[in-house]
């Protein structure tokens, strides 16, 4: 709106200047003619000069429309008077009408121009008719110097009008050309911004797809493959957290310059988003070429960056997919390269991995399992099975461990090792874990009411269940709904949980411990085995992993380690439970080493809740018989 206003102001200023110029040049011309005029001619010229001065004054006062009308119609009247009193249609005054029409085109509106043109046409027709009918008699004077002056005045005024019009048109054309150049430059800038990342100035994802199609067509003609390398920085988030997002942006810009410098001219570097980049490598002859390229890229990324006078190091994982072998659709190829990149992360990061069909199948299987998992949760397809923990000395039952099972329609089972990782990565573990806690507490409460008054239940927890800080509320609700005392619930934690987010986990475990809930360290000896964690987390039980004892060969190899674990637990005042006991000899060996409780197929596999009371009664009878 402001630009339109400024344009209107500029146009009115030009129009005012032109109006005053025309009034001035015409008045000067008429004054020159007035010097050689006499009689009626003198009067007409004098009147015309007067109206011109009036129009000039009005133009000076910004009354442009009124000034234009007075100028044009007064000049028209003056020329008409000359024609009527002179030679009619042959009068020299007729030559002034083209100049007036030019004035109208420069100064007036379309209506003024058309009305003046119609007036001129009508006057010419009228003069012709009056002359032919004999109403007027043309007075054709003999040639004289005043006539020459009059003609020159007309030519000078008309020429000035032509000059002004042409110059204004040229200026307008130049202005339009400049505006056109600005528009083209703006369009080019907009197109560049639409196709390039604003931070790194690299091609963005959208333009990357266009580059991919172009390079793919070229490679197809040459019967060569086009490789797509998906790059993801492994530890970029700590840079933003420690130094700020401006430092992270600086690192990305430096990285873009580094990678651009080492890539061949026919390769394309694309910022896919965040800390992810793509490299399009056309005409990749073999895997050796891609191996070398991936290693160079990783080497450049791992070289330290100077950020805010600080040496910052990051690493990268690279996934590689090739067209047409792995497909020709850009989005699908990116997906496959992304899958390969995550496999590189699983292999230790700071490395690269090629896509193959097995990765895609694993990803599809994981996706299908996730969909099944959601349905199973909504339809409550899961079941809890229970395996007793038996005192090695007394044979009494100290607790039962709740083990999650997922039965299928064909009678098979999907193992927890398959669906628990999917539940953890998808966030479904919180809902699933809450259901397990609720069911386990209710079953334990029911069994205690059936006579197993001192029975306790052990439930495994995932590290993900601690992240939202709601575990305390979930446990309290499960105990309250079941009417189960907190002392009857034992939560089993893995060693990896104790290492991650220690303070956050410790705070929640302290609250649960104050309620009376006890804790066991599951699979002890397979992880970090840090003794300081055992004290900090108030663990009451260590569970020796089955991998140490489930076979005779394992026992022979690991017996000293198992003995050390039991002695350490005893010195710390912790109870020990050995998992995976398969026979009486193994139970005897562990009892001799001082292990308190055992769990395994020697007594029973995990059974459904409906079979558990009978199993517990059987084991109680066996204990009494000892």
Domain assignment present for residue 187? The answer is: no
Domain assignment present for residue 198? The answer is: no
Q: How far apart are CA 485 and CA 487, in angstroms?
A: 5
* Residues 530 and 609 grouped into a single domain: yes
* Residues 371 and 344 grouped into a single domain: no
Number of domains in the chain: 3
* Residues 148 and 287 grouped into a single domain: no
Domain assignment present for residue 342? The answer is: yes
* Residues 346 and 379 grouped into a single domain: no
* Residues 327 and 233 grouped into a single domain: yes
Domain assignment present for residue 186? The answer is: no
* Residues 383 and 525 grouped into a single domain: yes
Beta-carbon-side half-sphere exposure of residue 169 (alpha carbons within 13 Å)? 8
Choosing from 326, 355, 384, the residue where a domain stops is 355
Q: How many CB atoms lie within 10 A of CB 369?
A: 18
* Residues 242 and 158 grouped into a single domain: no
* Residues 345 and 465 grouped into a single domain: no
DSSP 3-state helix, strand, coil percentages of the chain (rounded to 5)?
65, 15, 25
First-last CA distance in the chain: 99
Choosing from 355, 390, 415, the residue where a domain stops is 355
Whole-number pLDDT of residue 330:
93
* Residues 141 and 212 grouped into a single domain: no
Choosing from 355, 385, 407, the residue where a domain stops is 355
* Residues 325 and 375 grouped into a single domain: no
Q: What is the CATH number of the domain that holds 590?
A: 3.20.20.450
Whole-number pLDDT of residue 2:
39
How far is CA 565 from each of CA 329, 458, 587, 590, rounded to the nearest angstrom? 56, 21, 16, 11
How far is CA 489 from each of CA 179, 460, 574, rounded to the nearest angstrom? 79, 11, 17
* Residues 321 and 210 grouped into a single domain: yes
Whole-number pLDDT of residue 458:
95
DSSP symbol at 136: S
Handedness of CA 541, 545, 546, 548 (dihedral sign): negative
* Residue burial 394-414, b: 16+ Cβ < 10 Å; e: rest: ebbbbbbbbbbebeeeeeeeb
Domain assignment present for residue 376? The answer is: yes
Domain assignment present for residue 200? The answer is: no
For the chain (626 residues), the mean pLDDT of every run of 10, in chain order, is 45 76 79 74 81 84 83 81 71 75 73 82 84 76 67 75 74 80 79 82 90 92 91 88 87 93 92 92 82 92 88 91 91 92 87 86 80 90 95 91 92 88 87 94 95 93 84 93 95 71 77 90 65 70 87 86 90 90 92 93 94 93 78
Whole-number pLDDT of residue 8:
47
Domain assignment present for residue 6? The answer is: yes
Domain assignment present for residue 289? The answer is: yes
* Residues 437 and 511 grouped into a single domain: yes
Residues with Cβ within 8 Å of 389's Cβ and at least 6 positions away in sequence, in order, are 397, 398, 399, 400, 401, 458, 577, 597, 598, 599
Q: Which residues constitute the domain of residue 548?
A: 367-625
Alpha helices, H only, 348-462: 357-379, 416-426, 429-449
């Amino acid at each position: 709106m402001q630009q339109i206003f400024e344009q209107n102001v500029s146009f009115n200023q030009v129009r005012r200047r032109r109006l005053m110029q025309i009034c001035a040049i015409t008045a000067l011309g008429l004054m020159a003619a007035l010097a050689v005029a006499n009689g009626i001619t003198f009067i007409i010229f004098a009147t015309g000069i007067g109206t011109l001065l009036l129009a000039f004054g009005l133009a000076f006062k910004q009354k442009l429309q009124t000034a234009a009308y007075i100028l044009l119609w007064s000049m028209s009247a003056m020329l008409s008077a000359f024609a009527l009193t002179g030679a009619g249609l042959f009068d020299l005054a007729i030559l002034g009408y083209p100049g007036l029409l030019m004035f109208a085109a420069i100064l007036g509106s379309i209506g003024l121009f058309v009305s003046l043109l119609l007036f001129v046409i009508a006057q010419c027709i009228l003069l012709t008719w009056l002359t032919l009918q004999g109403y007027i008699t043309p007075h054709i004077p003999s040639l004289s110097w005043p006539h020459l002056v009059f003609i020159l005045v007309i030519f000078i005024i008309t020429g000035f009008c032509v000059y002004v019009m042409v110059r204004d048109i040229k200026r307008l054309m130049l202005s339009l050309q400049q505006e056109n150049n600005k528009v083209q430059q703006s369009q080019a800038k907009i197109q560049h911004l639409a196709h390039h990342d604003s931070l790194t100035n690299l091609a963005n994802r959208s333009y990357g797809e266009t580059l991919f199609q172009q390079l793919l067509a070229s490679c197809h003609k040459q019967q060569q493959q086009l490789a797509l390398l998906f790059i993801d920085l492994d530890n970029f988030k700590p840079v933003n957290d420690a130094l700020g997002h401006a430092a992270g942006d600086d690192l990305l810009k430096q990285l873009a310059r580094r990678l651009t410098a080492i890539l061949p001219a026919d390769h394309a570097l694309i910022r896919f988003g965040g800390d992810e980049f793509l490299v399009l490598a056309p005409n990749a002859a073999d895997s050796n070429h891609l191996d070398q390229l991936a290693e160079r890229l990783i080497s450049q990324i791992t070289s330290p960056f100077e950020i805010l006078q600080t040496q910052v190091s990051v690493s990268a994982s690279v996934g590689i997919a090739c067209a047409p072998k792995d497909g020709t659709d850009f989005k699908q190829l990116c997906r496959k390269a992304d899958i390969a990149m995550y496999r590189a992360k699983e292999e230790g990061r700071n490395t690269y991995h090629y896509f193959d069909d097995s990765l895609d199948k694993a990803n599809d299987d994981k996706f299908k399992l996730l969909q099944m998992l959601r349905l199973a949760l909504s339809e409550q397809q899961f079941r809890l099975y229970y395996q007793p923990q038996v005192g090695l000395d007394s044979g009494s039952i100290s607790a039962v461990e709740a083990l999650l099972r997922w039965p299928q329609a064909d009678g098979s089972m999907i193992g927890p090792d398959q669906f628990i990782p999917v539940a953890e990565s998808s966030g479904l573990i919180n809902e699933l874990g809450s259901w397990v806690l609720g069911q386990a507490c209710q079953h334990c409460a029911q069994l205690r009411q059936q006579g197993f008054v001192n029975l306790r239940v052990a439930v495994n927890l995932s590290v993900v269940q601690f992240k939202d800080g709601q575990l305390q509320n979930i446990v309290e609700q499960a105990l309250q709904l079941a009417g189960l005392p907190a002392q009857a619930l034992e939560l089993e934690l893995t060693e990896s949980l104790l290492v991650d987010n220690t303070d956050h986990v410790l705070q929640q475990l302290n609250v649960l411990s104050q309620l009376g809930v006890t804790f066991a360290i599951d699979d002890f000896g397979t992880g970090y085995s840090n003794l300081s964690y055992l004290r900090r987390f108030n663990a009451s039980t260590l569970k020796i992993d089955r991998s140490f004892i489930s076979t005779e060969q394992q026992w022979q190899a690991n017996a000293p380690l198992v003995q050390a674990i039991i002695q350490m637990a005893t010195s710390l005042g912790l109870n020990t439970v050995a998992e995976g006991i398969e026979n009486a000899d193994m139970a005897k060996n562990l009892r001799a080493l001082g292990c308190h409780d055992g769990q395994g197929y020697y007594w029973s596999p995990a059974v459904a809740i409906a079979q558990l009371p009978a199993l517990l009664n059987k084991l109680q009878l066996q204990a009494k018989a000892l």
